[in-house]
């Protein structure tokens, strides 16, 4: 075969394989049922909390009416246990008729009418993790088609009850099937989580081509221990994971549990800050009907969200791990900005951590600093100025760092793609953090 033909063929097969929905150029944001509501199907005794259309309509109302949607939280995602135990006469998945009497298509309309998007859950395997009908290889096309006809906007495809070979075939086949529907459907693949999350079993280049996001690791639970173990795993493997992320392709350390029962306010800020640094999808799993104002303020923090949603889409990393139990994380942002997180693993008292921007590899120059959770600007810092941050036990101090307009040159290296001389003005930041 002539060389050009081979090249063309290769290019063609790669093109048909890649997910072509153009979605999720920044990490997706929204709400996902699983961590908070699990597989509660007891609608008789627990009608407000069971997995039913009532729950998703309630949460859609809250997303639309309580300021979440405007901040970017637009996906409302169904997880396991939504379906009937049997497929219909045509072999199609169907919603449980008692709990979703109107059907998923009507629910999608309800969600779309409120300016939101609807996600659904499937499992590449014989059964879902909760024991509901799975999507075996022969059912991939029909399930993709069904979801598209219902008006679904995102699919989480779990991996229970399948083996490595089936996953290797099935995840790319679903990409193809979703492409074939013609409907842009965000695609979340749990594949790496079932293969230990690391090469050589996991190919992050391939995942980036065929999925918009992927779960790398185990399930989050409602506890600080769980958050910490996830942060540790992602940080330990940052050299592998960090380069895998980018616009349209994200590592997913799992849901935000802020607003539930397991985290203090400081720990909630830590989860928000670290998920923002990691360019993680922000899917809350909480009860938006009863969430307290402290948790809401953290989840609705505009600068933390803007950092998470930075258009460059470069995942951050840990820069420093101090013996004192302080870790420093950094993420480069567009327009020469960057984010810093000082995180304490200590359990005694607020720790006074002393450092300088120079010690954190910042170039010579002056920098404006905005404290994300104090919600106020700090004094301008020179790279050589020593400063002290007081970090609460299991808490964070999070900064947005901007090259001072007087010293624009110095910070150009902070962004991999510096966008030229139009640097950001402090006033803009306070008024409108979304234009970072």
Q: Which is nearer to ligand GLA, 128 or 226 (CB)?
A: 128
Letters for 149-178 (x = contact with ligand GLA by CB under 6 A, - = none) are ---------x--------------------
Contacts with ligand GLA: how many residues (CB under 6 A)?
9
| Contacting residue, 50, 64, 93, 129, with ligand GLA by CB under 6 A | 129
Report helix angle 164-181 to 3-17, nearest 10.
Answer: 90
Q: Which is nearer to ligand GLA, 40 or 266 (CB)?
A: 40
Which of 58, 105, 219, 222 is labelled catalytic? Answer: 219
| Contacting residue, 79, 96, 153, 260, with ligand GLA by CB under 6 A | 79
- Asked if residue 266 binds ligand GLA (CB under 6 A), the reply is no
CB–CB of 327/320 below 8 Å? Answer: yes
CB of residue 219 to ligand GLA, shortest distance in Å: 5
CB–CB of 384/302 below 8 Å? Answer: no
CA torsion angle 380 384 386 392 (round to 10): 70
CB of residue 135 to ligand GLA, shortest distance in Å: 14
313: CB partners within 8 A, 6+ apart: 25, 26, 27, 245, 246, 247, 279
Q: Are strands 396-403 and 338-344 parallel, antiparallel or unpaired?
A: antiparallel
CA 189 remoteness from chain centre: 12
Which of 79, 143, 158, 383 is labelled catalytic? Answer: 158
For 100, 280, 284, the CA distances from 173, given in Å and listed in that order, are 29, 25, 29
Region 376-395 residues binding ligand GLA, contact defined as CB under 6 A: none
**Residue 61 φ/ψ, nearest 5 degrees:** -60, -45
Region 172-231 residues binding ligand GLA, contact defined as CB under 6 A: 190, 219
Q: What is the DSSP annotation of 386-414?
A: EEEEEE-TT-EEEEEEEE-GGGGGGGGGG
65-70 long-range contacts (CB < 8 A, ≥24 apart) are: 66/288, 66/296, 67/300, 68/31, 68/288, 68/300, 69/114, 69/115, 69/116
CB of residue 404 to ligand GLA, shortest distance in Å: 43
Report helix angle 53-65 to 104-113, nearest 10.
Answer: 10
CB of residue 188 to ligand GLA, shortest distance in Å: 10
Q: Which is nearer to ligand GLA, 28 or 313 (CB)?
A: 28
* Segment interacting with ligand GLA (CB under 6 A) among 8-16, 128-136, 324-332, 413-421: 128-136
| Contacting residue, 19, 73, 80, 423, with ligand GLA by CB under 6 A | 80
- Asked if residue 34 binds ligand GLA (CB under 6 A), the reply is yes
CB of residue 42 to ligand GLA, shortest distance in Å: 16
Whether 327 is catalytic is no
Q: Which is nearer to ligand GLA, 189 or 244 (CB)?
A: 189
CB of residue 299 to ligand GLA, shortest distance in Å: 19
| Contacting residue, 30, 72, 119, 130, with ligand GLA by CB under 6 A | 130
Whether 219 is catalytic is yes
CB of residue 130 to ligand GLA, shortest distance in Å: 4
CB–CB of 353/391 below 8 Å? Answer: yes
CB–CB of 368/402 below 8 Å? Answer: yes
CB–CB of 360/340 below 8 Å? Answer: yes
- Residues near ligand GLA (CB under 6 A) are 34, 79-80, 128-130, 158, 190, 219
Tell me the catalytic residues: 158, 219
């Amino acid at each position: 075969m002539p060389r050009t033909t081979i090249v063309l063929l290769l290019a063609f097969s790669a093109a048909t394989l890649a997910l072509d929905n153009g979605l999720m150029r920044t990490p997706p944001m929204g709400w996902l049922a699983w961590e908070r509501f699990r597989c509660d199907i007891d609608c008789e005794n627990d009608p407000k909390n069971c997995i039913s259309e009532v729950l998703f309509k309630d949460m859609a109302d809250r997303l639309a009416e309580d300021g979440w949607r405007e901040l970017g939280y637009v996906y409302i995602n169904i997880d396991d246990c939504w379906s009937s135990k049997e497929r219909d006469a045509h072999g199609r998945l169907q919603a449980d008729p008692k709990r979703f009497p109107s059907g998923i298509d009507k629910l999608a309309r309800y969600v779309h009418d409120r300016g939101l998007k609807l996600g659904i859950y499937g499992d590449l395997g014989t059964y879902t993790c909760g024991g509901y009908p799975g999507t075996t290889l022969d059912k991939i096309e029909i399930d993709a088609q069904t979801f598209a006809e219902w008006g679904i906007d995102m699919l989480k495809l779990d991996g229970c009850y399948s083996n490595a070979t089936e996953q290797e075939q099935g995840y790319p086949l679903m990409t193809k099937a979703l492409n074939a529907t013609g409907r842009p459907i965000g695609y979340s693949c749990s594949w790496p989580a079932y293969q230990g999350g690391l090469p050589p079993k996991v190919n992050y280049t391939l995942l980036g081509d065929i999925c918009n996001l992927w779960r790398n690791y185990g399930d989050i639970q409602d506890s600080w221990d769980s958050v910490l173990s996830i942060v540790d795993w992602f940080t330990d493997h940052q050299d592998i994971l960090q380069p895998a992320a980018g616009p349209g392709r994200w590592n997913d350390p799992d849901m935000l549990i802020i607003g539930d029962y397991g985290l203090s306010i400081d720990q909630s800020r830590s989860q928000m800050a670290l998920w923002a640094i990691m360019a993680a999808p922000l899917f809350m799993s909480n009860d938006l009907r009863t969430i307290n104002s402290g948790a809401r303020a953290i989840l609705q923090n505009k600068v933390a969200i803007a950092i998470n949603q930075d258009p460059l889409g470069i995942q951050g990393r840990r820069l420093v791990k101090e013996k004192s139990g302080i870790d420093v994380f950094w993420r480069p942002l567009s327009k020469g900005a960057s984010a810093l997180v000082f995180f304490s693993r200590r359990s005694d008292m607020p720790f006074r951590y002393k450092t300088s921007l120079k010690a954190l590899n910042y170039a010579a120059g002056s920098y404006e600093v905005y404290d994300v959770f104090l919600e106020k600007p700090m004094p301008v810092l020179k790279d050589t100025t020593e400063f002290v941050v007081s970090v609460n036990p299991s808490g964070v101090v999070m900064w947005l760092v901007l090259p001072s307009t007087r010293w624009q040159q110095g910070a150009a290296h902070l962004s991999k793609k510096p966008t030229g001389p139009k640097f950001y003005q402090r006033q803009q930041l306070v008024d409108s953090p979304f234009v970072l």
